Amino acid sequence: MQTWSLISICVLLGVVVRWGVSLNSYSGAGKPPMFGDYEAQRHWQEVTYNLPIREWYFNSTNNDLAYWGLDYPPLTAYHSWLCAYIANIINPEWVKLHKSRGYESPEHKLFMRTTVLVADLLLFIPAVVLYCLYLTDGSSKKKVSVLLCILLYPGIILIDYGHFQYNGVSLGLALWGILGLGLGWDALGSIAFSLALNYKQMELYHALPFFCYLLGKCFKAGLMGHGFFLFVRIAAAVVVTFALCWLPFLSDPVQALQVVRRIFPVARGLFEVQAENSICILRYNMYPDTYRLSLVLIWSPQ
């Protein structure tokens, strides 16, 4: 009971700090013509709500890709549409096509900040709590200390609540994937990480550790026996997850290729200054009947 009380206090403190940072201004506020990443996220809501899916990633008179064109995978676009649907119910002016460009108001700022906090409460914070409880070694006090350090890490708080991003979604999904692998639910963990990849392409930073861990587990189980069926189950989970995320774009190869071009802009140079960078290191040690999984997450704001 004492452990859960300390966890509750840590979570509450994490929420309070996040909301305290969100009360301040954001990067690009009142600075035309681009207005910062806050406007980028709002503009994606405007585009996804008002335009058909086939136009989301294409340049047109209604979708100027030079002005914060959508360049994240489909799951981000669906998330933007969901936020826009709610925004339109509250105030249609927030997502009105063309006329809402650069829209800034205290009410809209409150709405946008709330969407980030809700995403953290649904995905990132629960994943951190469960990771610290079940996949962290040591005493209860050590588990709580690790939880507090992660929840109060200033880099991600400043980026998501001061600058304005939704990194808690992709990192939360990746952490759910790690939980799945650590608890032996490899297919579910693969699904969660596939969703993270389909939310933000920067999760490719984490792909190699996931791939090596799962492939190593399949080899260890024997590719001519149980390991083969494990490999097929994981591969099927990944393929189905990607197919569902990309389903609206798969009917037309031109659509799918355009999404890929926007996600990986080789033509305009792959290097872009990112607001965040992250490295995930997975390692496992073999025991007679179990796998032991440990995690190191490093966020390096640039």
Instruction: Cite the DSSP H helix spans in 27-166.
Output: 37-50, 74-90, 106-119, 125-134, 140-151, 154-157
253 cis-preceded (ω within 30 degrees of 0)? no
pLDDT at 224: 84
pLDDT at 195: 98
Task: State the burial class of residue 214 (Cβ atoms within 10 Å of its Cβ: 0-12, 13-18, 19+).
Answer: buried
Per DSSP, what are the bridge partners of residue 60?
63
Task: State the burial class of residue 169 (Cβ atoms within 10 Å of its Cβ: 0-12, 13-18, 19+).
Answer: buried
pLDDT at 266: 74
pLDDT at 288: 32
Contact 217, 186 (CB under 8 A): yes
Contact 181, 41 (CB under 8 A): no
How much of the chain is helix, strand and coil, in % rounded to 5?
70, 5, 25
Per-residue pLDDT 10s for the chain (302 aa) are 588 899 999 999 999 999 999 999 988 888 988 999 999 999 999 999 999 999 999 999 999 999 999 999 999 999 999 999 999 999 999 999 999 999 999 999 999 999 999 999 999 999 999 999 999 888 888 999 999 999 999 999 999 999 999 999 999 999 999 999 999 999 999 999 999 999 999 999 999 999 999 999 999 988 888 899 999 999 999 999 999 999 999 999 999 999 999 999 876 555 544 434 443 434 333 333 333 444 444 443 33
The CA-atom distances, in angstroms, between 102 and each of 18, 37, 43, 164, 227 are 24, 11, 8, 15, 53
Please name the residue that has the structure tokens 């080789």: 266
Residue in 8, 15, 302 with CA at minimum distance from that of residue 159: 302
pTM: 0.87
Number of neighbouring beta carbons within 10 Å of residue 76 = 22
